[in-house]
């Protein structure tokens, strides 16, 4: 399936799926296993009961055509999960890898003082999300429409790894880490 932009309706479906699969499966009445997987048919039924028109082709578009690559199927497409961004405790079976020399994090300017003091923390999520390139970090920082200004941090990932920090790449070019102490950060 070729990658294309999702329609406005599909974006709404994708956001609802992200909420269910990352944060609140119980609010939608779907069972999630310890690895974050939910039954594909159960998710479709739940979304349909909430007024969304969802079939297997729609789910395929959410998985394969979403540029953010938020979701993944298991091998036989009977289960689906979010790739990252969970606030519910799950083990998405990440495999550690050597990061590039630098990774990037974009955030709103109002967070700069807290980050200078404490570094990057996962907040309500399980991990800090880092981008492989500056442009993606800018896009992440700019998505909060109420924010005035943003800050892009360069993370000295190679130095962190040498000091014992573990990094996990995920499907969409995002890297996860438990936290980033402030002395590994440079403002761009």
Domain-located, residue 2: no
CB-CB contact of 18 with 85 (8 Å): yes
Task: Please give the backbone phi and psi of residue 154, each rounded to the nearest 5 degrees, phi first.
Answer: -95, 125
Q: How far apart are CA 83 and CA 19, in angstroms?
A: 12
Co-location of 70 and 107 in the same domain: no
pLDDT of 94 reads 87
The enclosing domain of 52 has a CATH number of: 1.10.10.970
- The predicted structure's pLDDT at residue 135: 92
Instruction: State residue 147's pLDDT score.
Output: 60
The domain in which residue 60 lies consists of 8-82
Residue 88 lies in a domain: no
- Locus of tokens 């360069």: 154
DSSP secondary structure of 85-132: ---S---------PPPS-EEEEEEGGGHHHHHHH-B--TTSSSEEEES
Report the CATH number at residue 147: 3.20.170.30
Task: Say if residue 74 is in the same domain as residue 107.
Answer: no
Partners of residue 181 on adjacent β-strands: none
- Looking at the structure of the chain, the number of domains it has is 2
Contact 102, 90 (CB under 8 A): no
Is residue 44, in this structure, part of any structural domain at all?
Answer: yes
Tens place of pLDDT per residue across the chain (188 aa)? 444 677 889 889 999 999 999 999 998 899 999 999 999 999 999 999 999 999 999 999 989 887 778 899 999 999 999 988 888 888 888 899 999 999 999 998 888 999 999 999 999 888 999 999 999 899 888 776 666 788 999 999 999 999 999 999 987 789 999 999 999 999 99
Report yes or no on 93 lying in a domain.
no
pLDDT of residue 85: 83
Residue 3 lies in a domain: no
In order of 5, 62, 66, the CA distances from 11 in angstroms are 9, 9, 9
């Amino acid at each position: 399936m070729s990658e294309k932009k999702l329609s406005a309706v599909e974006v709404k479906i994708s956001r609802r799926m992200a909420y269910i699969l990352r944060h609140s499966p119980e609010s939608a009445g779907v069972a999630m296993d310890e690895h974050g997987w939910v039954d594909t048919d159960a998710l479709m039924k739940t979304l349909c009961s909430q007024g969304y028109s969802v079939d297997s082709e729609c789910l395929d578009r959410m998985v394969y055509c979403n540029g953010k690559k938020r979701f993944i199927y298991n091998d036989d497409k009977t289960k689906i999960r979010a790739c990252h961004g969970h606030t519910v405790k799950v083990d998405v079976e990440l495999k550690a890898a050597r990061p590039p020399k630098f990774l990037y994090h974009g955030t709103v300017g109002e967070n700069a003082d807290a980050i200078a003091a404490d570094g990057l923390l996962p907040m309500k999520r399980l991990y800090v999300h880092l981008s492989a390139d500056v442009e993606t970090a800018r896009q992440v920082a700019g998505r909060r429409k109420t924010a005035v200004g943003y800050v892009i941090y360069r993370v000295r990932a190679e130095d962190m790894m040498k000091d014992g920090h573990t990094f996990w790449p995920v499907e969409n070019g995002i890297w996860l880490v438990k936290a980033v102490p402030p002395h590994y950060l440079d403002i761009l």
